[in-house]
């Protein structure tokens, strides 16, 4: 991949420090928003505002801080409402699995014809529905209500746009660019939304209720409060002889129930099956196929079901035959299976599915390009013969395709354009690649005996079965862990030992894990046999199970990596450095970050919380600031802190900075900074001292050392 020249601040720009622009300056109070912190004390605040219409700015700040400090946690208490119902009620997780694509054929092809901005609503709906549930379960009522309202608004907009995309693209162009198309306008049938979607009689009253709650949250200031009260107070407040703290969980439950109804209406199983028919028809139209062509692609009832269950087709998905076609067509199920696992392990930024030559010919099924590493994947869904072996010619064809793919990528001077859903299009730079790995994934039913590594034209090719592909991409699910195993395996093969695997390559992987991720103690052997059962034994070991439990927090770091793209710009270099650590190192980083975030959340005096973490060659700088600090000031502060961090640990040339809000919320915003300074001069040391004198950044840090084992001791 083409690289840009190194700069002091690769991501945030040139270093500048302006003490006058410090985030410690008092930020003007925004009376028209109140940051979602209104609804639990709505009546109390109405009275306060009516009494103090001309209250000072200082009084407003104090009133608002008082409201924010009054929090409820529904896990600590319950209460009985006047009709005998107990609140807070339990809610179900939103089943969003059947949400449909803007272009139906994408379900089969995996690729969009175009990149419209409104396509992103599909992913946003999934995010908000999950946030609504998690916030409800944690007792963050305002966050749950806000996520519910956003989710419902985006569902209605998305379904309207999908309808217009099929029936009236002229109006679609206008509606999809209408940034004032809010829940209130949708409720009032803007663009005939409710009529077109045929939901007016079912959902109008419920949308009206949602909009009333929305107005109460987002527009609460003296003028807007009058408008809300003129419409009538919420129904629950009319009859509730309870405190406001008890009102808010009821409102949250009611709006959450409306979201679930809306999801179940649009994304139920019946509509999903109808949608599969639409997807197949759309795909056939694109490929110029007819029903006779489709009939040829039917699956024999005694074949293994393409859904991967291991059952025969007739005992699994045969009754849902349209869905079966979709999974089987052109072997896309095999490629999508690997692609989804790869995106989970290597993250979406570095996965390129079906890269093509300039004239459109496919090079390979999947290409991973991370830093100076390339991994070529060729994927086949093969059948076993009566001797439970793959057809040799098909296996060899897959191996030869990998060799050809390597030549096309690195042997010719071609402008190969890679495309990624997140990063868009870019020209592949073969000169930046220092190490190439090749994998042939055979995803049919596993052979009884097989060759797990081959060498074609001086290229080592790792041969994975379906079972082992799933195991290794779940077990070694960072780029560093995965590559380390491939390197160790190749070094083992170079010893020219005779290796026999009984039970599959998972037994070799189990030995590798149980022996400190190395095959070094096998160097003297001239024959190796790995018997069946090692992998199953590893899965039961207490220290292995304890490691898996401890690793759970590390996926929070993966989530932070996946948020880097939201900052725009040339974010990939920052994301790449965030993704460099292995799973154990990510666990340490995540623990340090979230521990600091909890301390920042509970901070009562200061406007900021800072933490440094030193690793072998990189310093990590975590900054937590008040929500009221503007974005540009937060970025400037982060850049300043990273500069100081570079001087605190002079042996580390690289600093990675992350900043976010002090308060823990279901969705936090992040800023990132990557600082690379090969040398630390006397002039920079002087500048750092000046900054510390002005701001106190890392002037007198509390130094703490800690130790953690990858495999915890289990008594």
What is the model's pLDDT at position 531? 72
The more confident residue out of 639 and 714 is 639
Residue 287 included in any domain: no
382: nearest Cα among 453, 465, 442, 308: 442
Residue 705 included in any domain: no
Residue 526 included in any domain: no
In this structure, the answer to whether residues 95 and 203 fall within a common structural domain is yes
In this structure, the answer to whether residues 84 and 203 fall within a common structural domain is yes
Residue 512 included in any domain: no
Residue 406 pLDDT exceeds 50: yes
pLDDT digits (tens, 9 = 90+) for 269-285: 677 767 766 777 776 77
pLDDT category, 487, cuts 50, 70, 90?
very high
Among the three residues 280, 309, 342, which one is the final residue of a domain in this structure? Answer: 280
| Mean predicted lDDT score pLDDT of the chain | 76
Residue 211 pLDDT exceeds 70: yes
Residue 401 CA, distance from chain mean position = 32
In this structure, the answer to whether residues 490 and 548 fall within a common structural domain is no
In this structure, the answer to whether residues 83 and 225 fall within a common structural domain is yes
The mean pLDDT value for 236-256 works out to 63
DSSP 8-state code for residue 381: -
Residue 231 pLDDT exceeds 70: no
Residue 689 included in any domain: yes
In this structure, the answer to whether residues 550 and 678 fall within a common structural domain is yes
Joined tokens for residue 371: 């830093």
Helix, strand, or coil (residue 607):
coil
The mean pLDDT value for 194-218 works out to 83
In this structure, the answer to whether residues 227 and 339 fall within a common structural domain is no
Residue 465 pLDDT exceeds 90: no
What is the model's pLDDT at position 202? 86
Among the three residues 466, 494, 522, which one is the final residue of a domain in this structure? Answer: 494
Q: Describe the crossing of helices 244-266 and 141-167 by its angle, rounded to 10 degrees.
A: 20
pLDDT digits (tens, 9 = 90+) for 664-678: 876 788 899 999 999
The total number of structural domains in the chain stands at 3
The mean pLDDT value for 540-566 works out to 89
* DSSP assignments along 259-270, one per residue: HHHHHHHHS-HH
pLDDT winner (highest mean) among 111-115, 467-471, 620-624: 620-624
pLDDT digits (tens, 9 = 90+) for 579-636: 999 999 999 999 999 999 999 998 888 889 999 999 889 999 999 999 888 888 999 9
Residue 297 included in any domain: no
Query: CB neighbours of 342 closer than 8 A, spacing ≥ 6?
Result: 351, 366, 368, 377, 473
Residue 64 pLDDT exceeds 50: no
Residue 175 included in any domain: yes
In this structure, the answer to whether residues 260 and 153 fall within a common structural domain is yes
In this structure, the answer to whether residues 551 and 489 fall within a common structural domain is no
What is the model's pLDDT at position 40? 32
Please tell me the distance from the alpha carbon of residue 257 to that of residue 388, in angstroms, as a whole number. Answer: 52
Its domain, for residue 480, covers 334-494
The more confident residue out of 229 and 12 is 229
pLDDT category, 478, cuts 50, 70, 90?
very high
pLDDT digits (tens, 9 = 90+) for 123-137: 888 888 888 887 787
Which range among 220-229, 386-395, 419-428, 511-520 shows the weakest confidence by mean pLDDT?
Answer: 220-229
Here the CATH number for the domain that contains residue 489 is 3.40.91
Cα-based distances in Å from 571 to 3, 117, 372, 589, 709: 12, 20, 17, 20, 32
The helix/strand count (H/E) of the chain reads as 27, 16
The mean pLDDT value for 342-369 works out to 86
In this structure, the answer to whether residues 259 and 387 fall within a common structural domain is no
Which range among 87-91, 195-199, 578-582, 608-612 shows the weakest confidence by mean pLDDT?
Answer: 87-91
pLDDT digits (tens, 9 = 90+) for 168-184: 988 998 998 888 898 88
What is the model's pLDDT at position 16? 30
Residue 8 pLDDT exceeds 70: no
280-287: list long-range contacts, CB under 8 Å, 24+ apart. 280/108, 280/322, 280/325, 280/326, 280/329, 281/104, 282/103, 282/104, 282/105, 283/104, 283/105, 283/108, 283/109, 283/329, 286/105, 286/109
DSSP 8-state code for residue 232: -
Residue 321 pLDDT exceeds 70: no
Rounded percentage of the chain residues whose pLDDT exceeds 70 = 72
Cβ atoms of residues 560 and 589 within 8 Å? no
In this structure, the answer to whether residues 272 and 419 fall within a common structural domain is no
Main-chain dihedrals φ then ψ at residue 90, nearest 5 degrees:
-75, 145
pLDDT category, 34, cuts 50, 70, 90?
very low
What is the model's pLDDT at position 55? 40
DSSP 8-state code for residue 26: P
In this structure, the answer to whether residues 481 and 628 fall within a common structural domain is no
Among the three residues 494, 510, 536, which one is the final residue of a domain in this structure? Answer: 494
Joined tokens for residue 690: 């000046």
The more confident residue out of 337 and 625 is 625
Query: CB neighbours of 575 closer than 8 A, spacing ≥ 6?
Result: 347, 349, 561, 564, 565
Cβ atoms of residues 475 and 451 within 8 Å? no
Please tell me the distance from the alpha carbon of residue 312 to that of residue 326, in angstroms, as a whole number. Answer: 17
Cβ atoms of residues 138 and 131 within 8 Å? no
pLDDT digits (tens, 9 = 90+) for 149-172: 889 999 999 999 999 988 898 899
In this structure, the answer to whether residues 557 and 636 fall within a common structural domain is yes
Residue 10 included in any domain: no
């Amino acid at each position: 991949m083409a690289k840009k020249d190194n700069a002091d601040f690769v991501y945030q720009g040139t270093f500048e420090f302006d003490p006058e622009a410090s985030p410690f300056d008092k930020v003007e109070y925004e009376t028209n928003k109140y940051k979602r912190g209104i609804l639990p004390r709505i009546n109390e605040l109405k009275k306060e505002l009516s009494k103090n219409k001309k209250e000072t700015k200082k009084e407003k700040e104090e009133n608002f801080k008082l409201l924010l400090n009054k929090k409820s946690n529904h896990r600590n208490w319950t209460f009985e409402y006047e009709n005998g119902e107990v609140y807070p009620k339990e809610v179900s997780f939103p089943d969003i699995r059947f949400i449909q694509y803007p272009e139906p054929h994408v379900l089969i092809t995996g690729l969009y014809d175009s990149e419209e901005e409104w396509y992103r609503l599909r992913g946003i709906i999934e995010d908000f529905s999950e946030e609504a549930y998690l916030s409800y379960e944690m007792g963050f009522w305002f966050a749950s209500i806000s996520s519910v309202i956003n989710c419902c608004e985006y569902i209605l907009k998305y379904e309207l746009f999908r309808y217009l995309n099929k029936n009236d693209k002229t109006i679609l162009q206008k509606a999809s660019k209408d940034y004032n198309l809010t829940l209130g306008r949708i409720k009032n049938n803007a663009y005939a939304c409710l009529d077109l979607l045929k939901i007016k009689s079912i959902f109008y009253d419920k949308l009206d209720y949602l909009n009333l709650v929305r107005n109460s949250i987002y527009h609460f200031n003296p003028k807007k409060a009058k408008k809300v009260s003129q419409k009538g107070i919420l129904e629950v407040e009319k009859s509730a002889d309870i405190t406001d703290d008890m009102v808010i969980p009821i409102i949250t439950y009611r709006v959450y129930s409306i979201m679930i109804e809306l999801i179940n209406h649009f994304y139920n199983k019946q509509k999903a099956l109808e949608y599969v028919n639409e997807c197949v028809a759309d795909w056939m139209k694109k490929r110029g196929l007819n029903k006779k062509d489709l009939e040829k692609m039917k699956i024999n009832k005694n074949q293994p079901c393409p859904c991967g269950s291991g059952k025969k087709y007739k005992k699994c998905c045969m009754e849902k035959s349209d869905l079966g076609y979709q999974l089987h067509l052109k072997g896309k199920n095999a490629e999508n299976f690997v692609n989804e696992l790869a995106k989970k392990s290597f993250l979406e930024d570095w996965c390129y599915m079906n890269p093509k030559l300039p004239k459109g010919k496919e090079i390979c099924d999947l290409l991973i390009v991370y830093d100076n590493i390339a991994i070529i994947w060729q994927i086949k869904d093969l059948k076993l013969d009566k001797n439970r072996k793959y057809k040799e010619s098909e296996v060899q064809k897959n191996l030869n395709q990998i060799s050809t793919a390597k030549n096309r990528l690195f042997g010719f001077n071609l402008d190969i354009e890679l495309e990624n859903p997140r990063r868009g299009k870019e020209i592949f730079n073969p000169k930046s690649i220092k190490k190439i790995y090749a994998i042939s994934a055979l995803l049919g039913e596993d052979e009884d005996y097989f060759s797990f590594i081959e060498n074609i034209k001086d290229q080592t090719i790792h041969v994975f079965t379906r079972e082992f592909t799933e195991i290794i991409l779940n077990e070694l699910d960072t780029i560093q862990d995965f590559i380390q195993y491939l390197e160790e395996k190749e070094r083992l093969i170079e010893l020219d030992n005779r290796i026999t695997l009984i039970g599959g390559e998972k037994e070799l992987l189990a030995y590798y894990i149980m022996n400190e991720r190395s095959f070094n103690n096998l160097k003297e052997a001239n024959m190796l046999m790995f018997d069946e059962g090692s992998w199953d034994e590893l899965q039961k070991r207490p220290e292995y199970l304890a490691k898996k439990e401890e690793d759970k927090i590390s996926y929070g770091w993966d989530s932070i990596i996946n948020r880097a793209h939201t900052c725009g710009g040339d974010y990939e270099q920052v994301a790449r450095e965030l993704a460099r650590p292995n799973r154990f190192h990510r666990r340490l980083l995540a623990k340090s970050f979230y521990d600091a975030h909890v301390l920042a959340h509970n901070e009562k005096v200061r406007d900021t919380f800072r933490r440094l973490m030193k690793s072998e060659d990189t310093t990590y700088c975590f900054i937590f600031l008040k929500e009221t600090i503007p974005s540009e000031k937060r970025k400037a502060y982060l850049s300043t802190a990273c500069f100081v961090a570079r001087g605190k640990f002079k042996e580390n040339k690289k600093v990675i900075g992350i900043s976010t809000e002090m308060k823990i919320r279901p969705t936090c915003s992040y800023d990132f900074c990557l600082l690379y300074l090969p040398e630390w001069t006397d002039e920079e040391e002087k500048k750092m001292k000046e900054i510390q004198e002005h701001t106190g950044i890392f002037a007198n840090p509390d130094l703490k050392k800690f130790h953690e084992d990858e495999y915890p001791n289990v008594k």
